[in-house]
């Protein structure tokens, strides 16, 4: 007897998508990735992108569910999945999911909603809510801040499966635009990963932690340090990265307790956040991002009423 | 008898230059502007750009001094004029000036230095130091912070003609890159100067003044407010502008006393800073930027030993 997938889990982001074929026992039978992220697709192109990506999956004769989280549910995505409003119990994600059009009887797609926040600071997330549900199943006793570093870092206050409050820091995107489009680019052209990067990172993180209210002023130090002290591009890149992450962590420091902060993101970025959290007298605990999103999609399916 | 200029004052910035022909009594006989800023010129092209711009000035038979401030003295300018180091007495600017090459016996150019700061935060300025000297002659009793809003806002602590300390906030450039190159651009496309701009500005300024340490987080509110509350581009543009200026002023608030802060910059920008200073319980006093730079060039010439 050939094994076939019982359902398909999909993390559909802006720049790429990842699919996993799951068997009846929750094991991964197949996986595939594609660069057909939401940003490259019109609504009509989603069904074909999905079919293409899972073409090699062993499908059964009967229709299978395809559970999708992320930007496929944005207004400019496949079909808009209206936000759940925080505070919210993430076990309710699947109950609020929407069915996009799919001209294929064998696949039954379902897009999970994102979370919005209207009180205490307007905010939105899409995709991270599923990772948070996954984290809540992996660390069922955790209560506190969760940090998800990236282009737009999310900081969420999680109590079990409940998301209480969250914020978004544009840290990663700021690094990119400052490096590419501002006067700082003159100090950031050349070898950015040289030996002085770590030293610059530590100096920037210290400045950001010490005076987060002065980010607009401290940024210019990247330029001044190159002009006055002959700092090389690797030091300057480290300084800018450290300054931004230090500033971000300082703004959240008052909400961090003694327990390590779970960090969900790329391993290299999480390692930097661990360093700066330690400089701030706190602790970080990297969690594998793929494991977390898969756990979240499984949990969402399981809690579907 | 035809009047001729006794000397020429030049403010040579990155994107344009302004020249004034001054008579023996300090009156302006002629003025001209050009878009041949430092950013568009190789060192060899400066003499011709100067000659072209002042072509209509009534020159005497004898050679005339051309006193220049600004980016013409940068490393990538006409000739590098090494920085004076703060703290410094700005009456010493002309004594530290450099003579660039000029194949024209009738013009004797002299480029004033910028100011650098190595202790208490590395920093640099070029052009603003001459405006500060001008301010010190126009307001001889002023002692305190001076704010020069713009692409890179300068905040200088001035005591008479002495510059004690200064900082640079990348406020204007941040507004431009955030509007053009980040996810916020989606909320900032369309009519930016509509009726809701003032309301957005006030909301952003209040947020920036209240939580300057959280700029990275508050920026994303521009996007969230558009998605969740249907805020239009004019409101979002006002919010972003107010948030950045509020954050900048909050970082300097502890150094502002009861006297109005002199503001040197464009009239429209200075009016925004006056508003936010008032929201912060302080006062601003716009000073005409052209008057100030001319006063500075005259004073620099007068104090030349």
Per-chain mean pLDDT for chain B: 96
CATH class of A169-287: alpha beta
* Share of residues in chain B with pLDDT > 70 (%): 99
What local confidence, expressed as pLDDT, does residue B39 receive?
93
Q: What is the pLDDT of residue B2?
A: 67
Subunit contact B224:A124, Cβ cutoff 8 A: yes
Q: Grade residue A288 by pLDDT with cuts at 50, 70 and 90.
A: very high
| HSE-CB for B201 with a 13 A CA cutoff | 20
CA distance B97 to B271: 34
Mutation site, A114, A179, A186, A215, interface B, largest B CB count within 10 A: A215
Does B214 sit within 8 Å of A212, measured CB to CB? yes
**What residues of chain B have any CB closer than 8 angstroms to a CB in chain A?**
75, 116-118, 121-124, 152, 155, 167-171, 173-174, 177-178, 180-183, 211-217, 219-221, 223-225, 227-229, 244, 247-248, 250-251
What tens digit of pLDDT does each residue of A223-276 get? Answer: 999 999 999 999 999 999 999 999 999 999 999 999 999 999 999 999 999 999
Q: Which residues of B29-49 are buried (b: 16+ CB within 10 A; e: fewer)?
A: bbbbebebbbeebeeeebbeb
Q: Do B216 and A215 touch (CB under 8 A)?
A: yes
Residues of A with CB below 8 A from B124's CB? 223-224, 227-228
Q: What is the Cα–Cα distance from A276 to A245, expressed in whole angstroms?
A: 7
Q: Cβ B248–A183 below 8 Å, yes or no?
A: no
Q: Please indicate whether, in this complex, the C-beta atoms of A228 and B118 are within 8 angstroms of each other.
A: yes
Cβ atoms of residues B285 and B263 within 8 Å: yes
Tokens of B210: 């209240």
Within 8 A of A229 by CB-CB distance, chain B residues are 122
pLDDT the model gives residue B104: 78
CA proximity to B204, closest of B225, B182, B230, B181: B225
Mean pLDDT of all residues in B4-12: 97
Cβ <8 Å between B122 and A225: yes
Show residues of chain B in contact with A123, CB under 8 Å. Answer: 220-221, 224
Nearest to A19 by CA among A303, A290, A289, A292: A290
Give the whole-angstrom CA distance, residue B43 versus residue B27. 31
- β-pairing, B64-70 with B28-34? unpaired
**What residues have CB less than 8 Å from A162, skipping those under 6 apart?**
A87, A88, A89, A90
B119 Cβ neighbours under 8 A, 6+ residues apart: none
Residues 6+ apart with CB under 8 A from A207: A218, A221, A242, A243, A246
Q: Which of A117, A168, A244 minimises the CB distance to B217? A: A168
Tokens of B296: 């500075």
Residue A225: in which H helix or E strand, if any?
Answer: helix A221-229
State how far the Cα of B15 lies from the Cα of B19, in Å rounded to an integer: 14
CA of B257 vs chain A CAs: smallest distance (Å): 19
> Are B152 and A183 inside 8 Å of each other by CB?
yes
Answer whether B168 sits within 8 Å of A228, measured CB to CB: no
Residue A240 C-alpha, separation from nearest chain B C-alpha, in angstroms: 14
B153: closest chain A residue by CA:
A217
The chain A residue lying nearest B207, using CA atoms, is A121
Alpha carbon of B27: minimum distance to chain A alpha carbons (Å): 37
Count of C-beta atoms within a 10 Å radius of residue B230: 8
What are A54-74's pLDDT values in tens digits? 999 999 999 999 999 999 999
Q: What is the mean pLDDT of residues B234-254?
A: 97
Shortest Cα–Cα distance, A215 to chain B (Å): 8
Cβ of B173 and A182 within 8 Å?
yes
**CATH homologous superfamily for B169-288?**
2-keto-3-deoxy-galactonokinase, C-terminal domain (3.30.420.310)
> What CATH number does the domain located at A7-167+289-302 have?
3.30.420.300
Q: pLDDT band at residue B304, thresholds of 50, 70 and 90?
A: confident
CB neighbourhood size of A300 (10 A):
26
Confidence of residue A103 (pLDDT cuts 50, 70, 90): confident
**pLDDT value at A201 more than 90:** yes
Residues of A in contact with B226 (CB under 8 A): none
Q: What is the distance in angstroms between the Cα of A299 and the nearest Cα belonging to chain B?
A: 27
Of the pLDDT bands very low, low, confident and very high (cuts 50, 70, 90), residue B305 is low
Domains B7-126 and B169-288 share a fold: yes
pLDDT digits (tens, 9 = 90+) for B144-170: 999 999 999 999 999 999 999 999 999
pLDDT at A297: 98
Q: Is residue A102 within 8 Å of A143, Cβ to Cβ?
A: no
Chain B contacts of A169, Cβ < 8 Å?
A: 216-217, 220
pLDDT digits (tens, 9 = 90+) for A128-170: 999 999 999 999 999 999 999 999 999 999 999 999 999 999 9
Q: What is the pLDDT of residues A25-64, one digit of tens each?
A: 999 999 999 999 999 999 999 999 999 999 999 999 999 9
Residues in chain A with CB shorter than 8 Å from the CB of B13 are none
Categorize the per-residue pLDDT at B303 as very low, low, confident or very high, splitting at 50, 70 and 90. confident
Q: Please enumerate residues of A whose Cβ is less than 8 A from a Cβ of B.
A: 75, 116-118, 121-124, 152, 155, 167-171, 173-174, 177-178, 180-183, 211-217, 219-221, 223-225, 227-229, 244, 247-248, 250-251
CATH 3.30.420.300 is held by the domain B7-126:
yes
* Chain segment B174-233, per-residue pLDDT in tens: 999 999 999 999 999 998 999 999 999 999 999 999 999 999 999 999 999 999 999 999
Q: pLDDT per residue over B71-129, tens digit each?
A: 999 999 999 999 999 999 999 999 999 999 998 789 999 999 999 999 999 999 999 99
Q: Do A221 and B122 touch (CB under 8 A)?
A: yes
Mean residue pLDDT of chain A comes to 96
Question: Quick one: closest CA in A to B167, which residue?
Answer: A217
How far is A77 from B151, CA to CA, in rounded Å? 36
Is 80 exceeded by the pLDDT of residue A171?
yes
The answer to whether A121 contacts B221, with C-beta atoms less than 8 Å apart, is yes
Q: Would you tell me how many other CB atoms lie within 10 Å of the CB of residue A99?
A: 11
3-class secondary-structure state, position A288: strand
Contacts of A247 in chain B (CB under 8 A): 213, 215-216
Report domain extents, chain B: 7-126, 169-288
Task: Kindly list the residues from chain A whose CB atom is less than 8 angstroms away from the CB atom of residue B240.
Answer: none
pLDDT of residue A1: 52
Q: Does the beta-carbon distance from B213 to A212 stay under 8 Å?
A: yes
């Amino acid at each position: 007897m050939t094994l076939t997938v019982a359902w398909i889990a999909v993390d559909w982001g802006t720049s790429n998508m990842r699919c996993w074929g799951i068997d009846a026992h929750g094991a991964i039978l197949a996986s595939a990735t594609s660069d057909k992220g939401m940003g490259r697709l019109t609504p009509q192109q989603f069904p074909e992108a999905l079919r293409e990506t899972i073409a090699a999956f062993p499908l059964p004769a009967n229709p299978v569910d395809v559970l999708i989280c992320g930007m496929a549910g944005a207004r400019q995505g496949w079909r808009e999945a209206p936000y759940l409003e925080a505070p919210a119990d993430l076990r309710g994600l699947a109950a609020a999911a929407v069915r996009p059009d799919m001209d294929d009887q064998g696949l039954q797609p379902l897009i999970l909603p994102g979370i919005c926040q209207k009180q205490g600071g307007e905010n939105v997330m899409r995709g991270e809510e599923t990772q948070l549900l996954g984290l809540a199943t992996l660390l069922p006793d955790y209560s506190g801040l969760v940090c998800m570093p990236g282009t737009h870092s999310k900081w969420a206050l999680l109590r079990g499966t409940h998301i209480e409050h969250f914020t978004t820091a544009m840290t990663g995107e700021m690094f990119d635009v400052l490096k590419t489009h501002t006067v700082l680019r003159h100090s950031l052209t050349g070898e950015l990963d040289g030996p002085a990067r770590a030293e610059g990172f530590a100096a920037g993180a210290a400045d950001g932690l010490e005076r987060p209210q002065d980010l607009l002023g401290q940024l210019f130090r990247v330029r001044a340090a190159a002009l006055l002290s002959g700092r090389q591009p690797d030091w300057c890149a480290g300084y800018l990265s450290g300054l931004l992450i230090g500033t971000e962590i300082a703004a959240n420091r008052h909400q961090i307790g003694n327990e390590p902060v779970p960090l969900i993101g790329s391993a290299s970025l999480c390692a930097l956040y661990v360093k700066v959290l330690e400089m701030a007298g706190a602790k970080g605990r990297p969690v594998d991002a793929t494991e977390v999103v898969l756990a979240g999609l499984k949990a969402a399916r399981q809690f579907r009423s």
